[in-house]
A and B are shown apart, each in its own frame.
Chain A
Amino acid sequence: MTAPPLLEVRDLHTYYDNIAALRGVSLTVSEGEIVALIGANGAGKSTLLKSITGLTPPRQGEIFMEGRRLNGVPAHAVVRLGVAMVPEGRQIFGRLSVYENLEMGAFTRTDTDAVQRSFDRVFELFPRLAERREQIGGTLSGGEQQMLAIGRAIMAAPRLLLLDEPSMGLAPILVQQIFRTIREINREGASILLVEQNANAALSLANRGYVLRVGQIVIEDAAEALKENKQVKEAYLGGH
């Protein structure tokens, strides 16, 4: 590997007051990759994403996006550097329409023609959203809200998309559909860091994977290998 990875996290420590949520996490996401981050509740998965986007700034360690240091960059500026996050529990704007939600996603962009193309693309990826363009976000079904949250992130034209538990609370058939779309988004050039509890689905989609346990990376391997890993099977794949 010659070029620096798209995202590089080095020895990251993040605290909530005096409680350590991340204790020396290092990982990389290369251009074009889908990387899965799996782990149990409270392992620090969401915290890692929030640390990268500047919502919970790390106390120690470094984050680089395309070689540029992200530490200390405020959340709103991280978006401009090509990182978009789909937050956990699909935090869409519940009182705004589908269209308005998407429009908000493109807030940082001024290239109107390209924004228009992003609209087209989102509606192509999620025909449901096109049908419900004027519907109020809060009245959409869970799956549609997740689509909207992903669509809104795409509107920022990110080079790195951070997804926090996109499968949460969705029926298996919807999970499949969402994951197919994630792959599609990836094919179009966005690299993806996917945080999931649904380890099976995440590892089927990803190229590589990390296992996070109480704030530390305990295993790192190719996704296929992780699926066969005995520890992983026992701890996270369970009866699946």
Chain B
Amino acid sequence: MRAALLPATRPGLVGGGAAIAIVVLGMVTALNERELAGLPVGNLLVGLIVLAVGYRAARDAVGAGSRLVAGLVAGLTAGAFLALFMLFTRVPGVSEKLVQTEPEDTDAILFGMGAGGAALLAVFGAGLGVLGGVLASLPALPTGWLRAVAGSGRLRLILVALLSLLIVGLALAFLFGLVVAVVGVIVLAGLELALLGGALASLPPLPARLRQVLPKSGAGRRRLDPVALLTLLIMAVVLIVVPMAFGQYFNHVSTTVGIFVLMGLGLNVVVGYAGLLDLGYVAFFAIGAYAMAILSSPEQGIEVNFWLALPIAMAVSGISGTLLGIPVLRMRGDYLAIVTLGFGEIIRIFSQNLTDLTGGPQGVRDIARPELAEQEFTTLLFANPQQFYFYLIATGVVLVAIISAHLLSSRIGRAWVAMREDEDVARAIGIRVVRYKLLAFTIGAVFAGLGGAIFASRQNSIFPNDFTLIVSINVLCLVIIGGMGSVRGVVVGSVALIALPEILRELAEFRLVTFGALLVFMMIVRPQGLLPAGRSLVSGPASLDIAAPPAEA
């Protein structure tokens, strides 16, 4: 038990350091303006860190007693470290240097009691650490249950059906009141029973994903998976209802998320599938946006209809992707990253200096909204333009997501994976590396171009400053955090990185710090991302009907 004491101080010091960092940065002060269940969010965050520290320390210990002691030591260390630092800030002259924090707020962390408060803080830390230790000692029951559900098609089906009732019910209640909601839920429940009753009985207990990829000789066509079907149905309902249910602000945020999903899916093809690290990806977003702007704004005298400008913008972006691909074909890894970084900057500087075409720093204004007959149909059919863009982007995202998923399981996807894993071997097994590299750059650029074109139209006017390096970095971050090579990951990553900062406005100025911390944290704890691509990138283990030896269980 004694051996566990010293190692446990280390996570304690790390956690204490993290807590000090967020205090010094002023994050605690900023977050304390909000309350969650009556508790100030900033203090809650500090508490959570200490709890995590206790959990982490306890996990490495063996035996229930040692776990609790390890949690205690770690929590005590973290609490004491933070308390000592807080006392230090009271040394005259120190607190003036901490420009991000107010002395009164830091005082509050010591419960406004000075040295006595410091002792109390350490004790608090110890308590939280022990709690973390208790958490670590709990049997891993919940995940086992989840896994059982995820592994059984039947359970999943029931779960999804119930969830759909809940969501649809809530949405209807929100929109049209309780009576409609009850009727709607009953109707939907009936439909689901009728639709899925048979499926329930015949469903093999194999996870759906495993059955999706049939061997290419595949005698039969892919059977429609009821779980997937129902999930799609729910998603469709949610996507249709949501923009009506919420206001303009929500729709603005969600369209921004959608635009980043489009870019993320494109970059995912380049980086995730083909393994080509592109740091200048914003270039294609910019090219799509400027193509839309120049074609449709009256400023250049072209004034093409939105629906015509959209495919042209995508094509222009795609061609620029191919063109960028040609000079960098021979480059790999770091070199490729640096050259693409430069390309991104070149496009931005072009947009700033080609004043005749792009308006320079003044940008392009009056970019077209989609029209129907003579009237903009954003105002004809929808409550506000944001609502229209929500549907447009949702459609785009769904299409692009389907295309990317299919690309990965296609021959093209296999070529990309081979290339990513080992370019020389890929060449040696007959893959035309040049062709597939260019294809990856082109497809990635087309997706970004689509995002850019819609972005330009939604913004109505665009400026060079919309296309800085930080956009590339954001997109790369969301792909990495979501899970490289994973379509679902990109969606989750976008929500996490684009929507959350928007919702947590208090954190807005800490965005970059949080980004950095999150990335480091993810790389250590979960390098594969939040929702990583399935282990099997090329084909599912479904192809088991090929000469399976009888011995195989």
Contacts and interface: CB of A to CB of B under 8 A. Distances in A.
Interface of A: 53, 55, 74-80, 84-85, 87, 91-97, 99-100, 103-105, 107-108, 112-113, 115-116, 119-120, 123-124, 127, 130-131, 133-134, 136, 152, 156
B414 A103 contact: yes
27 contacts: A55-B427, A76-B430, A76-B433, A77-B430, A78-B430, A79-B430, A84-B429, A85-B428, A87-B428, A92-B425, A96-B421, A96-B538, A100-B539, A103-B414, A104-B414, A104-B417, A107-B411, A107-B415, A107-B418, A107-B430, A108-B430, A113-B217, A115-B216, A116-B546, A120-B547, A130-B549, A131-B551
A107 B549 contact: no
Contact of A97 (B418, B536, B548): B536
A91 B422 contact: yes
* Across the A-B interface, the 7 shortest Cβ-Cβ residue pairs: A79-B430, A108-B430, A100-B538, A112-B217, A120-B547, A93-B421, A75-B427
Given A93-B418, A100-B539, A112-B217, A79 B547 contact: no
A99 B543 contact: yes
B539 A76 contact: no
Contacts of A100: 417, 536-539
A79 B426 CA distance: 11
Contact of A156 (B422, B429, B537, B538): B429
Contact of A104 (B418, B549, B551): B418
B424 A55 contact: yes
Contacts of B430: 76-80, 107-108, 156
Given A93-B418, A131-B549, A105 B429 contact: yes
B204 interface: no
A123 B217 contact: no
B552 A131 contact: yes
Nearest to B436: A76
Nearest to A105: B429
B215 interface: yes
Contact of A123 (B432, B537, B538, B549): B549
A152 B429 contact: yes
A120 B429 CA distance: 19
Could you tell me the dominant secondary structure of chain B's interface residues? loop
Contact of A119 (B536, B546, B551): B546
A211 to B, nearest CB: 26
A84 B429 CA distance: 7
Given A55-B424, A87-B425, A134 B415 contact: no
Nearest to B411: A107
Contacts of B427: 55, 74-76
A130 to B, nearest CB: 5
B216 A112 contact: yes
B431 A107 contact: yes
A92 B331 CA distance: 22
A103 B217 CA distance: 13
A116 B431 CA distance: 20
A96 B533 CA distance: 13
B23 to A, nearest CB: 42
B332 to A, nearest CB: 16
Contacts of A124: 547
Interface in B518-553: 535-539, 541, 543, 546-549, 551-552
A219 B215 CA distance: 49
Given A99-B543, A112-B216, A120-B547, 14 more contacts: A55-B428, A74-B427, A77-B430, A78-B430, A91-B425, A100-B538, A104-B417, A107-B418, A116-B217, A119-B546, A124-B547, A130-B547, A130-B548, A131-B552
A94 B421 CA distance: 8
A240 to B, nearest CB: 31
Nearest to B435: A76
Contacts of A53: 428
Interface string B391-405: 000000000000000
Nearest to A123: B547
A130 B432 CA distance: 29
Contacts of A136: 535
B382 to A, nearest CB: 46
Contacts of B547: 119-120, 123-124, 130
Contacts of A133: 541, 552
A80 B427 CA distance: 12
Nearest to A92: B425
A96 B417 contact: yes
A31 B418 CA distance: 31
Interface string B449-489: 00000000000000000000000000000000000000000
B272 to A, nearest CB: 13
Contacts of A134: 536, 541
A115 B218 CA distance: 13
A18 B428 CA distance: 25
Contacts of A92: 425
B217 to A, nearest CB: 4
A104 B429 contact: yes
A55 B429 CA distance: 11
A77 to B, nearest CB: 8
Contacts of B549: 123, 127, 130-131
Contacts of B548: 130
Contact of A107 (B429, B546, B552): B429
B428 A79 contact: yes
A19 to B, nearest CB: 20
Contacts of A96: 417, 421, 537-538
A42 B428 CA distance: 22
Given A76-B432, A99-B539, A91 B217 contact: no
Nearest to A134: B541
B495 to A, nearest CB: 28
A109 to B, nearest CB: 9
